[in-house]
Structure 1
């Protein structure tokens, strides 16, 4: 028998990507990006953490369906709610006309890029 160690008060918790990136496990999906979207900071092959339980806010990156295919898009609220392509914001899709089931499958909450290839080296930091 003895006394508990005073060092136990200063014990650090382990870092957990699950605890940090996933708030609703039953509504979270991991999706691999098929292409690069420079304006959103998404490299080709990035891992996108997608939460289908969250509602998008103005400017959110979402995965939506356009004519039956999943695409990475940006949600805009004004002048009326619509989705637009990230790299070509002039291409807009109305949520009422072009989409089934609101067209938003889930909101991208985290973007995990592989930093080994240096793909962002030529892009100036804003």
Structure 2
């Protein structure tokens, strides 16, 4: 369900499905030579249970832009955001800054906060008292299409 759209992020609320889960083979996938002796144990895997730790405080947002490519967040990736987590130094956070949502790495030193992009083509943003600023949530996972 679409919740909000800004220039850089489009927010969605997670929807749980009953009896959801894809088939999951808990054997590991070899990136080298396959092991023909492996027995395949089939289970059901729910991405909701894997990625969402606090359902009431979790949201999804789709990335738009290139400012975090060095952290592996690319255009159109889907972020899993937990609003219940404590924002700390070096975490990747979704922030509301001067009327727009943005995703950046937090740099916290004493009473100062910076929003650091992971792309040298974007400037580091120092948060001041003049900014309308809220740390909205912490990014816990990224879902990519291959």
Higher strand share: 2
Name the structure 2 match of 1:92. Answer: 125
SS in structure 2 opposite 1:50?
strand
Unaligned runs of 5+ in 2: 1-40
SS in structure 2 opposite 1:19?
helix
Which structure has the larger Rg over C-alpha atoms? 1
The 10-residue stretch of structure 1 (72-81 or 85-94) with the greater mean CA deviation from structure 2? 85-94
SS in structure 1 opposite 2:56?
helix
TM-score (norm 2): 0.62
Deviations 1:103-125 (A, max 9, x none): 1000000011112xxxxxxxxxx
Higher helix share: 1
Contact 2:106 2:114 in 1 (8 A): yes
Query: How well do the aligned residues superpose, as a CA RMSD in angstroms?
Result: 2.1
Unaligned runs of 5+ in 1: 1-10, 116-126
TM-score (norm 1): 0.71
* Runs of 4+, deviation exceeding 3 Å: none
Superposed displacement of residue 92, structure 1? 2.4
